[in-house]
Amino acid sequence: MDRDKPLKKSETVEIRLPHATKSAFMARCRAEGRTASDAIRRFIDAELSQTSTTRRAPRLGWRPLLAAAVAGLALGAVAAPSLAQSSPPTRAA
């Protein structure tokens, strides 16, 4: 009999949003006839029901890769002349 009871909703999560974002979200929830809490609960449930294999990994764009390549080339250009210089032989005392 206890299995049929819905879980007690005793925990809260507090988030900070810009006022405009909150207002737009609340307006959409009202238009859809649901509470903000229900919308957020459904989002969380959907996120938790996804397996790690079905979740897409965040995709890096080409810009970070280009920036890393340019930084590597710049570092190589700075390091190459100092590596090419030979050091004078040292004499032991």
> Rounded CA gap, 26 and 12, in Å?
18
In contact, 63 and 73? CB cutoff 8 Å: no
Mean pLDDT of 65-77: 77
Mean pLDDT of 2-16: 83
* DSSP SS3 for 81: helix
Is residue 26 included in any domain, yes or no?
A: yes
Tens of pLDDT along 22-68?
999 999 999 999 999 999 999 999 999 887 656 666 677 777 877 88
pLDDT at 86: 60
> Rounded CA gap, 26 and 45, in Å?
20
Number of domains in the chain: 1
Is residue 35 included in any domain, yes or no?
A: yes
- Domain hosting 26: range is 15-49
